[in-house]
Structure 1
């Protein structure tokens, strides 16, 4: 049986920021981006500010690779309706932070935003979504291409290579069947286990480094508390957002019935008939 491993969000907070363990992150990024990634350094990110609100349900890490691309990895447990705007803001902020004052726009950094989501986001039946920027003609529907001069200036082959790109990984949608090496990583992200048959880059090192049994007593207690807080956050969401939404629907239906009853009353319909049609009490109708 595969041993339980430390969750990826905890690993990013405590372990993967160390250069000795870059190979784990490099493996994950290489499998996702279909190219070999070499991490130069971990950059300052919002998670380092340790804001109490996001202490348990959110973590992020920002790295720069050998090609000077900025890669933001964010792990999110709590639902946010404006999440798409937030990752757009984070990308824009990364671009402005890393553009030297007075430098030309040709030096704008390429940003890749990778978002690992442990909640249901949007409507879709896949578990990995990739977003890029392309310009399509309105009349002949052809895609705008870079000129040869622009390719040399930007060191890019196409426009999408210049603009930020986004990956949304919806962990809940994964069916636990690993069909390729990227799926092996998704399996680990969901189940915190690495099967002996897995061969994806970085997973062998992850299995060795992220073994829960290697924690000392203090680390294990800290980790268990972290996991408990995640469950608490999930329960809090269910009891506030979901129930609140249901209560809001019920309140809206009641208001609708009251409005309908008022219109029927103004039309001269008797109270008993209105009560039968709307489900309201005679007392409620009388007070309209």
Structure 2
């Protein structure tokens, strides 16, 4: 029997899973994903790890260190972001530079895993879990560049690319809810908050027992409910900003169609361009919708910086709407 009414994973990462007593949940998730036994040594201090009342509700991240001194970035993103891939790259680069100091040997540079749980259709593809690795291939022979014997013994790895960062993208909304493998069960939990009562998947047993909404204190439940409401408001804002009936998939399709039209120079490209022009003509109406939404958010007492982030208005513009 599936168990519902469990705390969302992003909120759990923000408030619960950073506690050492609850590392077992994250360790289980990482072990299943990376197909290797992962033991978290500690959660490291980072910008994303700071807790405060103004935490962004659309994103949360954790920087962890395992027993092998490798760094693991786990990030949850709730809404679409055009430059998300660039932010993945920045996050890894920053982690490398933050944890090596001037005068350190290159041997101090750590292996990094970037785990990205996204609740939007990031890129285009048919799978719901993607892994990105560095692979050095011979241009003429097609062989993979391996480490030397001494390097293999030192790094306990086979190929040159193995010492470089690895990226994982879990596009949870693309999961079809049919769980076959342990990773499927984890993705189903990330998407729907559902765990089978009889599950034996590593980490999910602990999540089932430790992430019950019913076990929250009154103050914790109130804060959690505010978080959920903020997510709902954010989606309402995005819908209003793009106009009624806006569909993200169709928008992506139109953009792809325009690009194809430009390449082929067909008449359809011209027609698409005319349609785009008409869409731009509706900008004024969308702006009015953003202003109405901002005023509604002000009336709900939502912080100005959150309103600014959701609507694109500056703090001064929002102040003038009061």
TM-score, normalised to structure 1's length? 0.82
Aligned to 1:204: 205
Deviation at residue 241 of structure 1 after TM alignment: 4.7
Deviation at residue 195 of structure 1 after TM alignment: 0.9
Q: Per the alignment, do residues 241 and 86 of structure 1 end up closer, same or farther by CA in structure 2, a change over 3 Å counting?
A: farther
Q: How many residues align?
A: 257
Matches of 1:87 and 1:66 in 2, distance apart?
23
Q: Is residue 106–residue 153 contact of structure 1 (8 Å, CA) maintained in 2?
A: no
Is 1:110 the counterpart of 2:131? The answer is no
Deviation at residue 206 of structure 1 after TM alignment: 0.7
Aligned to 1:20: 21
Aligned to 2:9: 8
Q: Deviations over 1:141-198 (max 9, x none)?
A: 1111111122234332222221000000001110111111111111111111211132
Matches of 1:173 and 1:235 in 2, distance apart?
21
Aligned to 2:168: 167
Aligned to 2:128: 127
Deviation at residue 63 of structure 1 after TM alignment: 0.3
Matches of 2:119 and 2:163 in 1, distance apart?
29
Which SS does the other structure have where 2:65 is aligned? strand
TM-score, normalised to structure 2's length? 0.74
| Root-mean-square deviation (Å) | 2.6
Matches of 1:254 and 1:113 in 2, distance apart?
39
Which SS does the other structure have where 1:200 is aligned? coil
Larger Rg: 1
Matches of 2:201 and 2:247 in 1, distance apart?
42
Gaps of 5+ in 2: 259-270, 279-322
Deviation at residue 251 of structure 1 after TM alignment: 10
Gaps of 5+ in 1: 258-288
Q: Deviations over 1:72-130 (max 9, x none)?
A: 00000111111111101100110111113212212211000000000111111100000
Which SS does the other structure have where 1:63 is aligned? strand
Moved over 6 A (4+): 51-54, 248-251, 254-257
Matches of 2:247 and 2:20 in 1, distance apart?
45
Aligned to 1:71: 72
Q: Is residue 49–residue 63 contact of structure 2 (8 Å, CA) maintained in 1?
A: no
Matches of 2:173 and 2:96 in 1, distance apart?
31
